[in-house]
Structure 1
Amino acid sequence: MTLKKLVILPSGTEILLPADSPLTEVEYESTQRLIPFGCRSGSCGACVVEVLEGFASLGEADDDELDFLEDLGRTGGGHRLACQCRLRGDATVRVADDI
């Protein structure tokens, strides 16, 4: 099993997850609430993250996610809904509440 590293800021916490794991798995790897997950279906916006490194490592956003991010004012391509991402390579994200 290949593990990939996710760094979550501002805490600087590093989490190792199996390749292709959904980012929601972060909840089971730490006692801290590192990313605030709400609906887990891409419709509440609680888990918006700014991708600082490894954007391609989180898979490709579908049109619904991109439209919702635009509705939230998170345009420019640097943001994702963590609940819609799968970790395919190492990445560093910052929780949007701390942007």
Structure 2
Amino acid sequence: MPDAVQLKKLTVLPHGLDIMLPAGSRLTDIEYETPERVIPFGCRSGACGACVVEVIEGADALGESDDDERDFLEDLGRSEGSYRLACQCRLHGPATIRLAD
């Protein structure tokens, strides 16, 4: 019998939306769980910057950012604080994010 899929909770602010995603899902996979596009994105490859989010809680649950992501966030002026590209984060535990302005 296969193992059951583990679900992890992602909270998206300012919507106050709680979504359960399979462990290891990219944050942009939220589009498959809700009828509206909550997290904007364009490329899914970390090249457009449309999906910048601020991590409020659970940074460890989103995996490590790589050099390319950190460099791109710096180019976008988002090197200070806890900003990430949602398309590059994989959800491994509960986390809370806020859509960047």
**Count of residue pairs brought into register by the alignment:** 97
Following the alignment from structure 1 to structure 2, what is the Cα–Cα distance between the partners of residues 13 and 61?
24
Secondary structure of 2:48's aligned partner:
coil
Deviation string, structure 1 residues 10-55 (Cα, Å, up to 9, x no partner): 1011110111111121011001221001111101100000000000
- 2:80 aligns with 76
Give percent identity, aligned residues only.
Answer: 68
1:35-84 deviation per Cα after TM superposition (whole angstroms, max 9, x unaligned): 00111110110000000000011100000000000000101240000000
Instruction: Specify which of 6, 14, 24 is matched with residue 10 of structure 2.
Output: 6
- After TM superposition, the score normalised by the length of structure 1 is 0.94
Give the CA RMSD over aligned residues. Answer: 0.8
- Partners in 2 of 1:22 and 1:82 — Cα distance? 7
Q: Distance in 2 between matches of 1:24 and 1:48?
A: 11
Equivalent in 58, 63, 84 of residue 59 of structure 1? 63
Q: Larger % of helix: which? A: 1
Where structure 2 has 5 or more consecutive residues not aligned to the other structure, the ranges are none
Greater Cα shift, 50-59 or 70-79: 70-79
Counterpart code for 2:20: L
Structure 1 gaps, min length 5: none
* Max Rg structure: 2
